[in-house]
Structure 1
């Protein structure tokens, strides 16, 4: 469960508690298509003034291409090819980059092709497995809860035998995100801001949990962003709220 809930406001930077300002890493969760969530992320980022930004949405190569003295949104988009990568509009994400212009950009996206190759072997054999604790036996209750979330996220359309595979994919993405974040902390000393979905931001089994396993000395503050006062699954240091945007039924694609 989250420790606190607050409504979105234009003065979102005033919401930032001192524990977040003192953290090495601040993980800012989101619903990917919610403009209010991204506005808040930009305001928090500007207030924190991170030395590095880690994006779930960028591959390491894309992130490397962002580390130059770009002038405007068009130039940065052309360099990282955001508008062609399938994520929501760069109009929502660019203010986050602008809020920390000059910070080092890190990418943690595992492409579908890379993930497919990684899933051909057990998660325990992944090169990052021992560092981030993926070689440990999964807790049965956690595994079951993860599978239920995957089933719900895919509107009950996945075959039951696919659910453990989807959980493994999520864990591998968490490991990639934790690895990029740890490298950012080691290179810069922090603070580091991480932009990712709420599922990866959760401190009970998401990226912060893996980071705590690998580097318990790193102080992490995790933020979830919900919609319309609905509860967000998982544990976080802070849960914030915002109105939901108009969006089509996500389950239509599975019908």
Structure 2
């Protein structure tokens, strides 16, 4: 045995297992998809949430805009409120207040779920699949619930992002909240970091301030319009909005506390990773790990640092090559799998090099090699070019 290898073996043997870190236990169970926890980290049944909802003036449900799990939870919450005898008004981040006449026609039964997307020009104003929202909206219509667009008009938000509030005409400015409530300190710091991570070089403080103004405009408009909906209908308001507008008591909730200090606000927020449970995120957290359906026919989820196959479409390539639900993806093209992008990069590499995509999966503690085969057609080099 070579000296270097011997030293490496000795060091590895001496290292041994590390002492377990004695971190505080904030989440007291390992959740399954769709399960709920309160801010103390205890498991909740859906029915346990009902008393919170019955006391609330505003129920804010956060979402990832492409998450099937999040949108299914929205429907569960609406159904729970209806079962308990509540008849909430429904407020949508996705639709600007300027499109309220369209939603009024829908609530009155003059438009159905098939014609509503066209009437709203859904692909332009939102863009995410309408099918994710259709069950919630269909349930609202079936019970005759008021449905409202609570966001600022999309056209004006874009204008503010380009030129600030000062660039608006007096007529356009009147369509926005008179006072745009700035973000609380914690949210402002978070947004500044977010801007710094995504901004290109050379942007000045003016761009940052416009970015912060747009975020504050969204949250203020949604809070103000939700409050107006509550006052005009006398009903609790169930708000569907991106989780960034709901979590940590920032966003909509912080503006509601200013506009209506006595209002009872309940926040329900998605939990993506059980190891990253933060009690301050919401009153109730629902576990919806990130999921992705690949073109080869398998659905994978990111669960506590592991990529797990949760479904395989019958007669798909994934089924034919031997991938099964419960498999953990360990490697792709010889590299460790930590996230969905690792699979994307491995597939792209295999395609560009004209190779088969090779995966390593773990099943019941045993590692297996899976030859997926070539993906698509190998890009040929153009003749006459090196």
Q: TM-score band (shorter)?
A: 0.7 to 0.9
Shift of 1:225: 1.0
Q: CA deviation at 1:190?
A: 1.9
**Structure 2 residue matching 1:225: 3-state secondary structure:** strand
Instruction: Determine if contact 1:24/1:189 at 8 Å carries over to the other structure.
Output: no
* Structure number with higher strand proportion: 2
Distance in 2, matches of 1:151 and 1:112, equals 24
**Partners of 2:209 and 2:248 in 1: how far apart?**
21
Provide TM-score, normalisation by structure 1: 0.79
Corresponding residue for residue 121 of structure 1 = 166
Q: What TM-score, normalized to structure 2?
A: 0.54
Which of these residues, 5, 26, 37, is aligned with residue 59 of structure 2? Answer: 26
Inter-partner Cα distance in structure 1 for 2:56 and 2:76: 17
Query: 2:191 and 2:251 mapped to 1: Cα distance?
Result: 11
The one of the two structures with greater contact order (alpha-carbon pairs below 8 A, sep at least 6) is 1
Distance in structure 1 (CA, Å) of the matches to 2:48 and 2:78: 12
Give the structure 2 partner of residue 221 of structure 1.
266
CA RMSD of aligned residues (A): 3.3
In structure 1, C-alpha distance between the alignment counterparts of 2:291 and 2:204, rounded to whole Å: 31
3-state DSSP of counterpart to 2:134: helix
C-alpha deviation, 1:10, in angstroms: 8.4
Cα distance, 1:105 vs structure 2: 1.3
More displaced stretch, 225-234 vs 69-78: 225-234
Aligned partner of 2:148 among 98, 106, 109: 106
- Structure 1 residues 13 and 81: CA distance shift in structure 2, 3 A: farther
The counterpart of 1:58, out of the listed 81, 86, 95, is 95
SS at 1:108 equivalent: strand
Residues 19 and 148 of structure 1: CA distance in aligned 2, closer, same or farther (over 3 Å)? same
1:162-182 deviations in whole A, cap 9, x for unaligned?
A: 333212111110011001100
Aligned residue pairs total 240
The match for 1:9 is 34
Q: 1:61 to 1:244 in 2, by over 3 A?
A: same
Q: Distance in 2 between matches of 1:96 and 1:109?
A: 18
Alignment correspondent of 1:45: 78
SS in 2 for 1:121: helix
Structure whose residues are more often helix by fraction: 1
